[in-house]
Amino acid sequence: MLTDLYKEIEKHVNWLSSIGLDPKGGTTRLLYDLAWIEAQNSLKNKFEETGLSASFDSVGNLFGKLEGSKYPKETIMTGSHVDTVVNGGALDGQFGIIASYLAIKMLKEQYGQPLRNLEVVAMAEEEGSRFPYAFWGSKNIFGLADKNDVLYAEDTKGILFKDAMNQAGFNFRDENEKIREDIKAFVEIHIEQGNVLEKTGKQVAVVNSIVGQKRYDITLKGQANHAGTTPMGFRHDTVYGMSKMISESIDQAKELGDPLVLTFGHIDVKPNTVNVVPGETFFTMDCRHTDGQVLGDFTKEMESLFRKIAKDLELEIDIDNWMDEKPVPMSEKIVKILEEACQEKSLNYTTMHSGAGHDSQIFAPQVPTAMLFVPSVGGISHNPAEATKTEDLVEGIKALIASLYKLAYEE
């Protein structure tokens, strides 16, 4: 079976990532575009060929179901999202669909009909890459998406969300439609998109929570001055202020330690000239932690620190906290089942949190949910260079198969 799995994975990953191949590199498959339509229809055919009953919901989430013999009203769901970022890699989202499909196919071949329904899902959208809306797929499964939030949304070509959806053959969810109550567990396998597994030499991870994250825009205003003729004591240098804020807050973040992460990814300086003291500096702050209380306390402290530095240097400061997502714990019960599955199969695994967002954070508050990770080479993702060693993909699918067996085939 192992050799087969190795080849099957490579074949399927190559196949799915080739739908929407971008001449500028990688795969670009955005919600409701032609590549997306082709991918979802091809997956539907594949599910049906394998004996799964396949169907779309109103917005275009694709489900492939293997009926349970004993508990037909209980479903164990597994899968991920079919959309990519622009010039995305071959694994983000799509590996989760391929892995789930292959796991169900192999379980069916080896053990026949499960006790509970086993269902693979290829979710319509997660990345927010075409329209300014993320998690469109998973949110619609639970009736959590408000159509007013996308009604006037346009893509970069000016195409309206609704028109793109209609042209792909889909429509808004009927608000009277009942929410599914059969989903008893959701398991999503995904690439890590970080370098923890690689650095620690592990092949699989059970994910026990998804971090909360807060994002800020920070603008400092001082005074643009001549770099030669303005003595240091007469300056209101916004780059000096920014550099103190960044270096001191990262020092404090490192002292507080994992799992806190703090990133200043974007900086714009005005006028950005070698011989002018910068009168204005804009920068962003992205802070994440698995504990909402710690995240809130730390960012509050940093806000105070920034205001103190600005006051000391006589700079104006504007702090805009435009994203505040709470941490999402995974189901303890499902985490334990996934860990046991890894132990029973003697996999080289660890348990960790996710620093990135995933469809599972929409599922987790609704149904018992947990995730599996496989390593990302160099931690690279959202990039054509995104890669995972096939032997690690194999170990990930082995973990998924063992987990789904426990959930769907055992009493």
Binding residues (CB under 8 A) for a second copy: these are 192-196, 199, 211, 213, 215, 225-234, 237, 239-240, 242-248, 250, 253-254, 257-269, 271-278, 284, 286, 288, 354-357, 379, 381-382
What is the rounded CA–CA span in Å between residue 313 and residue 321?
22
Shortest distance (Å) from residue 253 CB to a second copy? 6
Q: How far is the CB of 251 from a second copy (least distance, A)?
A: 9
Find the DSSP H helices in 313-389: 332-344, 360-363
Q: Which is nearer to a second copy, 277 or 404 (CB)?
A: 277
Q: Nearer to a second copy by C-beta: 160 or 269?
A: 269
Q: Is 288 annotated as a binding residue?
A: yes
Q: How far is the CB of 107 from a second copy (least distance, A)?
A: 30
Tokens matching residue 202 = 């592990």
247/21 Cα distance (integer angstroms) = 41
Encoded tokens for 265: 């990814």
CB of 22 to a second copy, least distance (A): 18
Residue 184's H or E segment, with its range, is: strand 183-191
Q: Among positive and negative, which fits the CA dihedral 370, 374, 375, 379?
A: negative
Please give the backbone phi and psi of residue 340, each rounded to the nearest 5 degrees, phi first. Answer: -65, -40
Q: Which DSSP string do the residues of 231-258 spell out, in sequence order? A: -GGG---HHHHHHHHHHHHHHHHHHH-T
Q: Residue 407 has which token pair?
A: 């959930």
For the beta carbon of residue 152, count every other beta carbon within 10 angstroms.
Answer: 9
Question: According to the annotation, is 236 in a ligand binding site?
Answer: no
Q: Which is nearer to a second copy, 195 or 366 (CB)?
A: 195
Residue 28 or residue 61: which is nearer to a second copy going by CB?
28
Q: Which CB, 43 or 370, lies closer to a second copy? A: 370
289 is in an annotated binding site: no
Q: Is 127 annotated as a binding residue?
A: yes
Q: Residue 92 is which amino acid?
A: D
Residue 383 marked in a binding site:
no
Cβ of residue 211: shortest distance to a second copy, in angstroms?
6
Tokens of 356: 């990135």
- What residue type is assigned to position 65 of the chain? K
190 labelled as ligand-binding? yes
Least distance from a second copy to the Cβ atom of residue 13, Å: 20
Of 120 and 196, CB closest to a second copy: 196
Which residues are known binding-site members for allantoate? 215, 275, 288
Which residues are known binding-site members for Zn(2+)? 81, 92, 127, 190, 382
